[in-house]
Amino acid sequence: MLPLRSTQKVRNQRNHKQKPEAPSRLKELLSHERVNSVAGAVSSGISSVDWGLFRIKLVAVFFVCIWLALWGRAWYLQMIDGPYLAQRARRQHVAVELVSGKRGEILDRNGQVMARSVESLSVYARPHQITDAVRAANTLAPLLGQDAQSLYNRISVSTRKFIWLERKVDDKTAKAVRDADLAGIGLSKEYTRIYPFKSMAGQLLGFVGMDDKGMEGLEHSLDEVLTPVPTRQEIQRDAMGRRFFIHSEEMGDPSGNDVQLTLDVQIQFFAEEAIAKTVQEYKAEWGGVMVVEVATGDIVAWAQYPFFNPNDYNKFRPTQYRNRMALDALEPGSTFKPFLMAAAIQERKINKDTLINCEGGRWKTKDVTIRDTSRHDILPANKVLRYSSNIGMAKIGLMMGAPLSYRYLYDLGFGQATAVPVTQSRGLLRAARDWREADLMSTWFGQSISVTGVQMAQAYLTMLNQGVAKPLRLLKDDALTARATSMPENMGKRVFSADVCRQLMSMMRDVVEEDGSGRRARVEGVEVGGKTGTAQKADKRTRRYGDKRLSSFVGFLPADKPSYLILAMVDEPSINAYGGIVAAPAFQAVATNVMTYSGQLAEHSTKNTEEKKAASQEEKTQLEAKLVLAPDKHVFSEALEERRPETGLRAPGHLAKASTSVPNVVGKSVRSAVELFARGGIMPLIKGEGQRVVRQSPQAGSPWPEGNASGEWVLWLSDK
């Protein structure tokens, strides 16, 4: 039992602990009442709210927030991410490709198309898109003319994304490939180069490769002009990634520039016909003819034989499509002599009457022995050229000396490229300090120097231009010529005086018209000047002159006022080697046709006929006097017939007298048809492609026109 004080203390502590309970309870009661009042207030407030209006406002606020969010996102995508996203979209849906149009055309001086490009299709494969390589190979192999196994290996093993299967197929093959509808196999548009006149001027024109790049001839040297400049165009793609092209009028395919040559297709035909006949007749290695219009320097024909067809260039050897007239540098022989004779007269070392001892045809010096083909003793300088004496020219060369001879040869264009825009050789013209006495003498009769055919034509053009160097022209556009090639430094320079040139032209007329070596180059009805050449060719193995020759003839007509310069070269003839026998007749054939075609032969023939009539009047009087002594009518008629001047021309081949009406040329070759029309003085317009005439206008039997109506006469061609 606790003590009283302790018990009281405990009781007091209990009482002390229980005293605060009253205020806590009170607070609890007050709090409960407050909650109830608030709840009541809230309850009364909720009951007073318009819940329909509240929901509308809530939805409105929700859509406003969404609208603001969308506009904010749109602003962000366009202003912040816009350029980046646009670039990605462009890469996905638009492809930028280089688009190249067709190559420019090559035309002759009259607008005849000599080379053009036409659309063609090529077969390609995308190996990663091919689903059945076996089926694709078996289907395409017979269409493309390929082995199925090798084709399968190409399209199944290749890791490339794009491969060509066959380039530039014909329309029938392209249609078959398209109809096969093989996955991963497609057709691509390309351009094929065609030459409507086949082998005409083939070596000069050259050809283009499979990728439409010029490989030889003018196609190569004028490649930058003819080739179109590729332009970037947008190619759109669909959702599957397949490309399609939307064409607009402002987006035309770029095309190359057309090139118009100075060539004349008809004169080119004359030249090719003549040189082909000569090479075949004398069994030569090759031959070439160049025809130049003297007044302008225009090259109107550039012919070589054997012919080369650039449509099938892969069937020919490089030696066959080599442009030998510009690339083959050969010793010129006696055709070189007129230039040095002119130089000696210009320097007053000699004149045309200076006597030269030709040593009876054989002259032995301390270093060499020089021989002539004919024996002559003392000759005046003009006959040294007429009879083509090597000895006489060598002696004149010793008078001139090496430095002076070199200067004239360089001023004439030898040893440098001409202005003709073709790949060409500069020839061989050694510096004067390297000439020995033997070199000086041999150079004066066309040895110890190498020149090309185009260089010879350039030098003769200078002489015919009264001694002033004039550039040869192959392109009608002089600005294009300047762009394609550089002008030689000697152009426009006076090399010979006009008087010296007239003397040389007179000497060259004697070579043909008198008893010179070029008698076979005569053209009935017009005077001709020229020079023959028979150059020895060096043997590469023995390094000595062998038995092979280069026969040549360079001539001009009319002799008093030249209109045309014609160069004929025949390399390594087997039957006869002399230029006067081999090359001169080729010149004569070309010259006759060209003068007739230009209408000049008839004019000169009429003039000469009147002169012959006046000259023969005295002869006729003498025959009539003989008739008194021998009144036999038969004898008189025969004698008079032998001396009767010809009233018409004996023109060969296609220049024979035309029929009275237009002939039927349907089914004939284009050359035969042009030949028949040429007889009537008509140059028809050629349309279409091929070698056979399928239609003509006007029809056969129509009368020939009185004037020149070439634009109304059309021949349509086809290979079918």
At residue 25 the predicted structure's pLDDT band, cuts being 50, 70 and 90, is low
Asked if 107 and 218 count as a contact pair (C-beta separation under 8 A), the reply is no
Digit-coded pLDDT (tens) for 119-129: 888 888 888 88
Q: What is the pLDDT of residue 105?
A: 92
Q: What is the pLDDT of residue 35?
A: 62
Residues 6+ apart with CB under 8 A from 688: 694, 716, 717, 718
Tokens of 457: 């034509």
Tell me, what's the pLDDT at 575? 86
pTM score:
0.70
Q: Which of 330, 290, 286, 570 is nearest to 452 (CA)?
A: 330
pLDDT for 602:
63
**What is residue 368's predicted lDDT score, i.e. its pLDDT?**
84
d(CA 265, CA 199): 12
Cα distance between residue 384 and residue 393, in whole Å: 7
pLDDT tens-place string over residues 74-129: 888 888 888 887 777 777 766 666 666 788 999 999 999 999 888 888 888 888 88
**Residue-averaged pLDDT of the chain:** 80
Instruction: Give the model's pLDDT for residue 650.
Output: 34
Residues 6 or more apart in contact with residue 508 via CB below 8 angstroms: 338, 385, 529, 530, 531, 555, 556, 559
Tell me which of 421-435, 490-504, 694-708 is least confident.
694-708
3-state helix, strand, coil in the chain (%, to 5): 45, 20, 35
- Given a contact cutoff of 8 angstroms between Cβ atoms, the answer to whether 348 and 341 are in contact is no
Tell me, what's the pLDDT at 388? 85
- Whether the predicted pLDDT of 707 surpasses 80: no
Q: Which domains does the chain have, with CATH numbers?
A: 97-229+253-259 (3.90.1310.10), 265-598 (3.40.710.10), 657-718 (3.30.10.20)
% of the chain surpassing 90 pLDDT: 32
Question: Lowest-confidence range among 16-25, 289-298, 373-382?
Answer: 16-25
The pLDDT, as a whole number, for residue 305 is 93
Mean pLDDT, residues 337-363:
90
Question: Is a pLDDT exceeding 90 seen at residue 408?
Answer: yes
- Which segment, 152-161, 175-184, 323-332, 703-712, is predicted with the most confidence on average? 323-332
Give me the pLDDT at residue 689, please: 65
**What is the pLDDT, as a whole number, of residue 145?**
86
Lowest-confidence segment of 122-136, 298-312, 561-575 by average pLDDT: 122-136
**Chain segment 482-540, per-residue pLDDT in tens:** 888 888 888 889 999 999 999 999 999 988 887 778 889 999 889 999 999 988 887 77
- On the question of pLDDT at 606 being above 80, the answer is no
Is it the case that residue 622 has pLDDT exceeding 60? Answer: no
How many C-beta atoms surround the C-beta of residue 452 within 10 A?
A: 26
Q: How confident is the model at residue 636 (pLDDT cuts 50, 70, 90)?
A: very low
Strands (E), 436-484: none
Q: Which residues of 223-261 are buried (b: 16+ CB within 10 A; e: fewer)?
A: bebbbbeeeebeeeeeeeeeeeeeeeeeeeeebbbbbbb
Predicted local confidence at residue 509, as pLDDT: 92
Omega cis (within 30) before 306: yes
Buried b (16+ CB within 10 A) or exposed e, 435-450: beebbbbbbbbbbbbb
Q: What is the pLDDT of residue 649?
A: 31
pLDDT for position 677: 75
pLDDT value at position 619?
46
pLDDT of 639 > 50? The answer is no
Report the range of poorest mean pLDDT among 390-399, 402-411, 479-488, 578-587.
Answer: 479-488
Inter-helix orientation angle 337-346/402-411, to 10°: 110
Average pLDDT over residues 627-636: 35
- The answer to whether 192 touches 169, Cβ cutoff 8 Å, is no
Q: Which amino acid is at 206?
A: G
Residue 524 CA, chain-centre distance (Å), reads: 37
Question: What pLDDT sits at residue 248?
Answer: 45
Between 316 and 254, the higher pLDDT residue: 316
pLDDT band at 206 (very low <50, low <70, confident <90, very high): very high
Highest mean pLDDT among 43-57, 92-106, 237-251, 276-290: 276-290
The size of the chain, in residues, is: 720
Q: How many angstroms separate the CA atoms of 133 and 416, rounded? A: 59
Taking residues 615-621, report their average pLDDT. Answer: 48
470 Cβ neighbours under 8 A, 6+ residues apart: 297, 461, 462, 491, 492
> Model confidence at 681, in pLDDT bands (50, 70, 90)?
low
Predicted local confidence at residue 22, as pLDDT: 54
Using 50, 70 and 90 to split pLDDT, how confident is the model at 155?
confident
Angstrom distance (rounded) from CA 323 to CA 214: 14
The predicted structure's pLDDT at residue 4: 43
Is residue 41 over pLDDT 80? no
Confidence class of residue 466 from pLDDT cuts 50, 70 and 90? very high
- The set of residues, in sequence order, having a beta carbon less than 8 Å from that of 19 and lying 6+ positions away, is none
Structure tokens, 326: 């510009």
